[in-house]
Amino acid sequence: MSTEQEDVKLTAYALGELSAEDAATLERELAESPERQGELQAITATLDAVREEVKKDDAALSARRREQIETAAQRSDADDAPEAGADPGAKLEPKVVPFTPKRSRRGRLIGAVFAASAAAAAAAGVFLVQSAEHRGLSEHSESAGYKKLPSKFKSPAQAPAPTTAASAASVADDQPGDGKEDLAREKGQDPGRFNRERYDHVVDNAFVRVSTDPRSTFSVDVDTASYALTRRHLNDGQLPPKGAVRIEEMVNYFQYEYPEPTGPHPFSVSSDVASAPWAPEHRLVRIGLKGKHVPPRDVPGTNLVFLIDVSGSMSDENKLPLLKRSFGLLVDQLGAEDSVAIVVYAGASGLVLPATPGNQKQTILSALERLDAGGSTNGGEGIRLAYAEAKKRFVPGGINRVLLATDGDFNVGTTSESELVDLIEAKAKSGVFLSVLGLGGGNYNDSTLEKLADKGNGNYAYIDTLREARKVLVEQATGTLMTIAKDVKIQVEFNPTEVEAFRLIGYENRVLAHQDFNDDKKDAGEIGADHTVTALYEVVPRGGAVPGPKGDELKYQAPRAPSPAAAAGELMTVKLRYKQPAGDVSQLLEVAVRDGRGTMQNANADFRFAAAVAGFGMLLRESPYKGSSSFEQVLGLAGNTNASEARSEFLALVRRAAQLKRSAN
Amino acid sequence: MSSLKAQMSEGNAVQSDGKWVLEALDQYEAKLLRFARSIVGEAQAADVVQDTFLRLCKQPERDVRGHLAAWLFTVCRNRALSQLRSERRLQNMEDDDVQPHPDSGPATKFERKEQLTRVGRAIRELPERQREALLLKLDGGLSYKEIAEVMQLSVSNVGFILHQAVQAIRNEIASESALPAVARRMS
């Protein structure tokens, strides 16, 4: 053994890092070599001097920072509780190994060292959760600047995966999600157990008896993120978490052939009725809205501010790099009258590109190109900066929009989520709207992003591929960017002579109180140019059995007699309220719906497809109302349509889900 | 043996409020700050450490139980390094002459107090890796294994780096004390 290796050992010994056995051997050697003893003393003295020096610097966080951490700490357990409860199987079974004290600060005197190692050897029966080696598997560590990983850290297949180890590896890294999902998948485990993605828990809307409440009120929703999220999960080989499946967003992902608006209103309203495929004794009602087409020449100036999250977690290929290409597509469509500014946020927020005319594409694109992920996230400050920039170039009557692109890690920094939501709500009133583009996975914060877009009079899309980016930012760019009606609310009144009960499919987090329908102060969803919005009701015809528990009869009220209008044979009346994009006063629109008594088999392909998507959503959500739906039924309904690219992809996803479900059972 | 006790209670306690985070804060705040400061400037170090604890708040306690220190230092180090990189990048973007930030670069970072002792200067002048490992060991109290994990090195590599660091400091101290004598003799 070379002298240097001997010295390495001596240092390890002085630091208490030798095993009891090695320590004993070394101690025997030491006893015979005064020279080595001197060496050890020198090392120990050096270590002590360093310790002493380091401790002189009594570093502390400012009171404000501490306070923020304390607040977050109190909040944290509330956040985690449902996750922990959701999966009782996630209980840890820590792998234990005998503990040898590696940390005891062995001392200044050799005598003390002997005593300590004797104690260590005696400390049998003390166990410690195994921690080290297996946790080094940071496959995504490029972002932190190390590329030269020892090979044993690189292969997830080689990595033993005790639960603690796997989760620690993922959380300790900058990109927790992907690593752990990969790892879990390799091991054939349920990746959901490590998942930090946040989805709000959604309970399916239940059947409502018309005798108790004949009305249904909700806000429109043109978000589509849920479909893209579902797609990502399925393409990753896993069924999506139920909370990630929002049926209305799945249905609204697709464009439907509703008539162009012709009257004074900026959108058209149409309806279809047919038998519900999953419960043939029920009727399925489709309400379709179509926003007017705005020819590009009529689009007034566009003032865009890209607000881009460049925190470390964004460095994945499917985040910042994808985003750069996506925004590139959007920039390609801009002209001299438009402008783009770029604001980034991470540990510090900064204006990367001041408002630049849309025809200076090279300037914009190279600014985008230079973006690089790194740093922590302070979304709040970035949003403020972005709105300030948007205000500078405000185009009256034009598109003024902040496009926030993030994987959603928002809780860092000086701003709480509710403050952020308040800020965005206030800014939306000033005419600057917000679009949210969600990216990546792992620590993806779906619920916050949806809320932000919602309050910012904006829309929310999830970008998982460049194709999706093209859909959102090119094909539907005017819809994404140009709002033609805001605060669009729908209230449906059912006719008690025709309908026993009804159920709104999806829109669970869009339900409004009935009185809010006429309250212009209440915020609701927006419709963009060319957007289509679809809502589905499942209706139990008069006298039919209503699924779910039956409420008691009212003691003090008899059912009211129907009005003369009820005899007209109408199933329901759909009322809509909306405001012009710059307006404050809502306008009302009413449409009556009749049941043509048709079956789903004979319904038009477009309606059948919408029903198929809803059925698929219910299956993925394992909805209590899924009735006789099956993946085969979904394929049958959707399969006869003229398959566009998007719809063919849907069919592939259904097959994939069916496969996953089969193998899960 | 207080660290051993901490280990055990960490392993056994099932706490239902955010108290464990606050305990971690008390225990590691200064250590993490000193460690972060050896990589980035003082202001950024505070950002990094705050961020590290905020991230800790988002972890279920059971996920970090038993390896809290390694978790904290790993996250802290990752954040500090990416902070450092983005800082350099922003500078490049802002102006083309790459003036080092007055408060950046490991050497200046560590030297917060004007009068550094010999040992302080010796630590400051260590190569980055040696300095990191030394702090993780002597200040953070991490084991070789944990350091290996935090720094993405092998355990034997850690042992070697620490040995080098100790020797470098030892030589530095020795040469410093020898220097005045030599100088005297020459004059």
Whole-angstrom Cα distance, residue A207 to residue A117? Answer: 70
Which positions ≥6 away from A71 have C-beta within 8 Å?
A416
- Would strands A399-406 and A433-439 be described as parallel, antiparallel, or unpaired? parallel
Per-residue model confidence as pLDDT tens digits over B12-34: 334 446 788 888 888 888 899 99
Query: Are residues A626 and A302 in contact, defined by beta-carbon separation less than 8 angstroms?
Result: no
Query: Are residues B73 and B136 in contact, defined by beta-carbon separation less than 8 angstroms?
Result: yes
Burial environment of residue A21 by CB neighbours within 10 A (0 to 12, 13 to 18, 19 or more)? exposed
Average pLDDT for A272-287: 96
Average pLDDT for A57-81: 72
Q: What is the dihedral of CA A260, A266, A270, A276, to 10 degrees?
A: 110
Query: Are residues A423 and A389 in contact, defined by beta-carbon separation less than 8 angstroms?
Result: no
* Token output for A386: 């972005």
Task: Assess whether pLDDT exceeds 60 at residue A1.
Answer: no
Q: Which of B52, B121, B166 should we substitute to test contact with A (largest number of A Cβ atoms within 10 Å)? A: B166
CA distance, residue B187 to nearest chain A CA (Å): 31
Which band of pLDDT confidence, cut at 50, 70 and 90, is reported for residue B176?
low
Secondary structure class of A489 (helix, strand, coil)? strand
Chain B residues inside the 8 Å CB shell of A49: 119, 169, 173
* Token output for A414: 């000086």
- Please state, rounded to an integer, the average pLDDT across all residues of chain A: 75
A93–B contact, CB cutoff 8 A: no
- Determine the residue of chain B that is closest to A74 in CA distance: B18
* Token output for A326: 């996506």
Distance of CA A263 to the CA centre of its chain: 38
**In the block, residue with structure tokens 């540990």:** A347
Average pLDDT for A455-478: 77
Residue B30 to residue A59, Cβ atoms within 8 A: yes
Which band of pLDDT confidence, cut at 50, 70 and 90, is reported for residue A444?
low
Predicted complex ipTM: 0.78
A351–B contact, CB cutoff 8 A: no
Task: Assess whether pLDDT exceeds 60 at residue A224.
Answer: yes
Of residues B173 and A149, the one with the higher pLDDT is B173
DSSP H/E element including B106: helix B106-110
Per-residue model confidence as pLDDT tens digits over A493-548: 999 999 999 999 999 888 999 999 999 988 888 888 888 999 999 999 999 999 88
Q: In what order do the strands lie in the sheet with A433-439?
A: A349-357, A339-345, A302-309, A399-406, A433-439, A460-463
Chain A residues inside the 8 Å CB shell of B77: 144
- Determine the residue of chain A that is closest to B56 in CA distance: A73
CA distances for A355 relative to A340, A362, A363, B2, angstroms:
5, 14, 11, 58
- Determine the residue of chain A that is closest to B149 in CA distance: A136
Per-residue model confidence as pLDDT tens digits over A291-335: 988 876 677 788 889 888 887 777 777 888 888 888 888 887 788
pLDDT at residue B91 in the model: 60
pLDDT at residue A157 in the model: 36
Residues in chain A: 665
Per-residue model confidence as pLDDT tens digits over B121-133: 888 888 888 999 9
DSSP H/E element including A435: strand A433-439
Burial environment of residue A110 by CB neighbours within 10 A (0 to 12, 13 to 18, 19 or more)? middle
Chain B residues inside the 8 Å CB shell of A83: 60
Average pLDDT for B78-94: 74
Q: Which of B49, B57, B91, B103 should we substitute to test contact with A (largest number of A Cβ atoms within 10 Å)? A: B57
Q: Largest Cα–Cα distance of chain B, in whole Å?
A: 70
SS percent in chain A: helix, strand, coil, step 5: 45, 20, 35
Which positions ≥6 away from B157 have C-beta within 8 Å?
B148
Which positions ≥6 away from B57 have C-beta within 8 Å?
A69, A72, A73, A75, A76, B18, B21
- In chain B, the percentage of residues whose pLDDT exceeds 70 is 68
- Closest by CA to A228, choosing from A263, A204, A253, A196, is A253
**In the block, residue with structure tokens 């990752």:** B78
What's A472's DSSP letter? I
Look up the pTM and report it.
0.51
Which band of pLDDT confidence, cut at 50, 70 and 90, is reported for residue A98?
very low
Query: Are residues A177 and A197 in contact, defined by beta-carbon separation less than 8 angstroms?
Result: yes
Query: Are residues A572 and A495 in contact, defined by beta-carbon separation less than 8 angstroms?
Result: yes
Whole-angstrom Cα distance, residue B107 to residue B105? Answer: 6
